Structure 1
Amino acid sequence: METNEQHKILVVDDEERIRRLLKMYLEREGYTIEEAGDGEEGLKMALTGDYEIILLDVMMPGRDGLEVCKELRTKRSTPVIMLTAKGEELNRIHGFEAGADDYIVKPFSPREVVLRVKALLRRASTSKNVNTSHESKDIIEFPHLVIDNDAHRVLADNNEVSLTPKEYELLLFLAKSPDKVFEREALLKEVWKYEFFGDLRTVDTHVKRLREKLNKVSSEAAKMIVTVWGVGYKFEINHD
């Protein structure tokens, strides 16, 4: 029987009770769990370890979860689920701005965490075991950019681009409707499944990171994500 032992998860929380609870439930599902009791230790482990997902508490003494996530995003694309006792919308926005892929408010059901982890792992599945010569049924091809949705893989000028699940979903959503302009509110609703008409920096932050990653390997691919000033963003096909 196939297990989840190949999936290693890092739990970063200053409350031992929370870490123990998450460890117990996730290990029951066959995941390998490692723990960190503060942000500094968690960041070191996140940067040096090979984790499939990081569960990261927001409110911790010293370096908090938002700082850890922002720093992590400068070097790694590991999927992050933020854990916090604060349920206000603004705190959720700050979590997404920092680069989180999902957000769970305490007190939470451990079963809900397990379901969120499984869902995020499905979205973050990579092409490690995919034969690149096989005929994929769900490929979007443009000059300078290929999105293989079956393999969850992005190539810019034949160079693979490592994206977080949310960055990938944002790129895929825009690319499926070339030249259509989307307001930031619409992108929050469609990509984040989240309606919020106020602080829209979440979208801007993710677009900026997405462009930066694409630009490292292909300036032409990066130019395809176009800002429509005063409105939002669109995906524009470059015709050579």
Structure 2
Amino acid sequence: MTAHQGGGSAGYRALVVDDEVPLAGVVASYLKREHFEVSTAHNGHHALALAWENDPDVVVLDLALPGLDGLEVCRQLRTFSDAYVVMLTARDTEMDTIVGLSVGADDYVTKPFSPRELVARIRAMLRRPRSVTPGSEVGPAQPPRVFGPLRVDVAGRQVFIDDDPIMLTRTEFDVLAALSARPGVVLSRRQLLDAVWTHDYVGNEHLVDVHIGHLRRKLGDDPAAPRFVITVRGVGYRMGDGQ
């Protein structure tokens, strides 16, 4: 996916997927007011077809779709698209959140929700810099960051453990990049939100914990004795030396 340029949200493409046709229409109308190009789908198969055709920058995806549900749509979407995904769910439980984010969603919103807040979250995500990864700086390509067996190639957006590639979502990589940019320095959840989701993110700080959990699992990092991502209780997280 290529970032579209222009003032405000002009040129960005959004795909809204919800089997509640009136709700999908409301969300689409709010996005259109912000100058998004909007497509809508009301089932999973149509959503994937439109995603292939239109290459959206962001997908607003209902979890409880009939037939091919939102989780499976997100799984398949992640095989060909790096669009930001905001999952809509009527169930405000930690497990639903964890499952939704584990298949590649970047954020979640619980129904009923404010369309204005949803659009604010989308705008914040799309303001993430594309050419500069959180924790990196403009300039010559940086050498990989090495933490024991872990190697983080910021320029190439690749992660390896013992030379084996580790597949991360864009958000998981951005969290790791922010932490690895300042080894040994404790970053609060708010600081990580500011670095990865931007300063005007209006969601729950618990989102950081969920992405950290998935990141640790993919890195093979034992939460009880982590080598790479260390919890500092009551404060936040810091990068370990990998030993």
Alignment partner of 1:15 is 2:20: yes
Offset of 1:45 from its aligned partner?
2.1
CA contact (8 A) 1:181 1:233 kept: no
Three-state SS of the structure 1 residue aligned to 2:16 is strand
Alignment gaps of 5+ in structure 1: 129-133, 210-224
Amino acid at match of 1:127: S
Query: In the superposition, relative to structure 1, how do residues 73 and 206 fare at CA in structure 2: closer, same or farther (>3 Å)?
Result: farther
Question: Match for residue 221 of structure 2?
Answer: 227
TM-score (norm 2): 0.67
Question: Match for residue 130 of structure 2?
Answer: 126
Query: In the superposition, relative to structure 1, how do residues 139 and 104 fare at CA in structure 2: closer, same or farther (>3 Å)?
Result: farther
What is the 5 A alignment of 1:76-95? 76-95=81-100
Question: Match for residue 111 of structure 2?
Answer: 106
Q: In 1, Cα distance between the equivalents of 2:176 and 2:42?
A: 34
Among 45, 51, 70, the residue aligned to 1:40: 45
CA contact (8 A) 2:145 2:153 kept: yes
Offset of 1:207 from its aligned partner?
4.9
RMSD over aligned CA atoms reads: 3.9
Among 146, 154, 159, the residue aligned to 2:157: 154
Q: In 1, Cα distance between the equivalents of 2:115 and 2:61?
A: 14
TM-score (norm 1): 0.68
**Structure 1 vs Structure 2: percent identity of aligned residues?**
31
Among 99, 116, 121, the residue aligned to 1:116: 121
Among 4, 7, 13, the residue aligned to 2:9: 4
Offset of 1:71 from its aligned partner?
2.0
Alignment gaps of 5+ in structure 2: 1-5, 133-137, 161-165, 194-203, 229-238
Offset of 1:106 from its aligned partner?
0.9
Offset of 1:44 from its aligned partner?
2.4
